[in-house]
Structure 1
Amino acid sequence: MIALVSAPTNLGLRPPEPGGVPGTSKAPEALRAAGLFDRLGAAGATDAGVVLPGRYVDDDATRPPGHVRNEAAIIDHARRLGARLDAVIGEGRVPLVIGGDCSLVIGAGLMTAAPRGRGLVHVDGHTDFRHPAVSDWCASVAGEDLAAAIGLHWPAISDIDGTAPYFAATRTAHIGCRDDDHFLERVRSTLGSVATAGDVIRRGGAEAARDAMRVADHAGYWLQVDVDVLDPSFMPAVDGPAPGGLSPDQLVGLLRELAPRAVGTAVTIFDPDLDPDGRYAPLLVDVIAEGLGELGSGLTPR
């Protein structure tokens, strides 16, 4: 049974302007208003509550070198999210986390109730692979979450409570970055499987999903879905829209392949501030409900 967890964080994002606050924290309630919780509830999902983040602070002027934005708040939220996921899984339910930004993968990495050795399938329009060894501009975990998830960031973020790596690189798959992503070749040489959005469009989502599951599905896997994998002609209400992405039908098809063997998932980066007339939230409700309706159904019951 799916359990919906709201995680309205924006802590991992850069401010939209100096002193500004990103709008991803509004996404869970915007999607609730668009009918997501009612729709999934009618199919048997339960509401597992909210894991609130700390206050977002634009700390660019005061943050010392070697630290990310809102670092202490991100660590605290990750610990509390991990504990909530443990509780959900311990009750025999499958968590569907509605974010929020994609720093949520850190909380998923800290959960302990899911099988040890689980993999990660990272579906995102960007590789999110910026990290200190390859960039002098590290600051926003939402653009660095994949690197942090496999232990390549500053230890404060990538080794919380001595648990690095949260996911083994060889059991991690990425799907959806654009063919010209700056870190694409590094990711190809590091992860177990990589398929760009172009690969999915050219070859179909089933092949990309099979490749991802081949490396990630040793004991189930966490499925991280950033909705900027969609082309901005369909979903512009995201932090970093980039042309060359998937259509909603292509994303739904991909998620239907991946969802049954996932121990849980997070859907991230939708920004209601960039959807002022509410036209894109219903589209995302359809994608989530149709693509993730069978979440965890292929796992052996605990």
Structure 2
Amino acid sequence: MNNNKIHIFEFPSNLGLKKKDIDLEPGVKLLPDWMKINKFHDLISPNRSFTLIPPAYSLDLDQDSGVRNADKIIKYAKDQARLLSDHLDKDCFAIMLGGDCSILIGIALALKEKGDYGLFFLDGHTDYVSPEVSKSKAAAAMELAIITGYGHEKLTNISKLEPYFEQKNVWCVGNREYDSTVVNEILDSEINYIDLKSLRKNGFKSCASQFLKMAKENRLDGFLVHLDVDVLNDDIMPAVDSREKDGLNYSEVNILLSELLSNDKAIGIDITILDPTLDKNGVYTKELVSNLIKVIKKGSSQHRL
């Protein structure tokens, strides 16, 4: 990454989630404000910050695509792409705060319009399933499939740009949901898939180095890091919508992020799924902020343009 300019983009959308019965709607849309309250913005000190309000939340199931809120997600994705296209350039490192993981669709659109980019997808789930397999029919459970061209063209081919990321340029890392019904779909793709067990066996620096080698060999214009905080161990980050046992600790995830963000092809990171209503005292958020600041500052200090 470079530190000429750091921009924060706030995308407080929960359109990609199915709410629990006891909720009015998911609380992840509060993530950007919650990060600000917990000093993330102050510590980053961005050159500029932008906020894009999404359409109103609903549970509408689109009959064409089989995905909830598809039309609203498409509209929001196009709005995101316009905003990002206007303010992303080679001297800018972008920090994009969700919301849920469906914000990745709009980010992917913007990057596809600018060139050929890779994706390091760090997530406790693959999010690579078809609507037929997905139990929730929610876009945040299948956004990796959507952005790599797997699914209904209504979402995979917005503005005739399918696929937004070439599968060979995507690494899905850290999944610990080992159900074969879910995993088999990504195993049939061209995505580089490294689950949590394989990641620990083969090594964190090795994983990051192999991804960076791929980015160089494929002559990519850059790459994005996606961080769904549910990739973290449930003991240190339980404030998520879909909890799983185990997960990465901060020392492990920091090795990955430090290696990736210190590379000059890193153009941004998106951070998703933290639900402030599940962390009312900010205990888990403060620890997250502390670790993110550490790796982002380290990355910017190593690549001054």
TM superposition score normalised by structure 1: 0.89
In structure 1, the partner of 2:211 is 212
In structure 1, the partner of 2:226 is 224
In structure 2, the partner of 1:58 is 59
- Evaluate the alpha carbon distance shift between residue 19 and residue 59 of structure 1 in structure 2; reply closer, same or farther with a 3 A threshold: farther
Checking the alignment, whether the CA contact within 8 Å between 2:118 and 2:170 is kept in structure 1 is yes
Shift of 1:130: 1.2
What amino acid does structure 1 have at the position aligned with 2:59?
Answer: D
TM alignment of 1:24-63, pairs within 5 A: 24-41=28-45, 45-59=46-60, 63=62
Checking the alignment, whether the CA contact within 8 Å between 1:124 and 1:177 is kept in structure 2 is yes
In structure 1, the partner of 2:273 is 269
- Evaluate the alpha carbon distance shift between residue 295 and residue 155 of structure 1 in structure 2; reply closer, same or farther with a 3 A threshold: farther
In structure 2, the partner of 1:22 is 26
Larger relative contact order (C-alpha < 8 A, sep ≥ 6)? 2
For 1:118 and 1:253, the matched residues in 2 are separated by: 22
In structure 1, the partner of 2:87 is 88
- Evaluate the alpha carbon distance shift between residue 167 and residue 112 of structure 1 in structure 2; reply closer, same or farther with a 3 A threshold: closer
TM superposition score normalised by structure 2: 0.88
- Percent identical among aligned pairs is 27
For 2:135 and 2:147, the matched residues in 1 are separated by: 18
Shift of 1:299: 7.8
For 2:300 and 2:83, the matched residues in 1 are separated by: 17
TM alignment of 1:1-302, pairs within 5 A: 1-17=5-21, 20-41=24-45, 45-59=46-60, 63-64=62-63, 66-90=65-89, 92-112=91-111, 115-132=114-131, 135=133, 137=135, 139-178=137-176, 180-182=178-180, 183-217=182-216, 218-259=220-261, 260=263, 261-294=265-298
Checking the alignment, whether the CA contact within 8 Å between 2:111 and 2:117 is kept in structure 1 is no
Q: Please give the per-residue CA displacement for 1:28-47, whole angstroms capped at 9, x wherever unaligned.
A: 10011001000111xxx223
For 2:22 and 2:229, the matched residues in 1 are separated by: 25
- Evaluate the alpha carbon distance shift between residue 27 and residue 53 of structure 1 in structure 2; reply closer, same or farther with a 3 A threshold: same
SS at match of 2:257: helix
Checking the alignment, whether the CA contact within 8 Å between 1:27 and 1:271 is kept in structure 2 is yes
Checking the alignment, whether the CA contact within 8 Å between 1:24 and 1:272 is kept in structure 2 is yes
Aligned structure 1 segments of 4 or more residues deviating by more than 4 angstroms: 112-115, 294-301
Higher mean C-alpha deviation, range 221-230 or range 177-186: 177-186
In structure 1, runs of 5+ residues without a counterpart are: none
For 2:34 and 2:270, the matched residues in 1 are separated by: 16
For 1:142 and 1:252, the matched residues in 2 are separated by: 24
Shift of 1:114: 7.2
Shift of 1:58: 2.4
Shift of 1:291: 2.5
Checking the alignment, whether the CA contact within 8 Å between 1:90 and 1:113 is kept in structure 2 is no
Checking the alignment, whether the CA contact within 8 Å between 2:112 and 2:164 is kept in structure 1 is no
For 1:297 and 1:86, the matched residues in 2 are separated by: 25
RMSD: 2.4
Q: Please give the per-residue CA displacement for 1:1-45, whole angstroms capped at 9, x wherever unaligned.
A: 22111111101011122773001000010011001000111xxx2
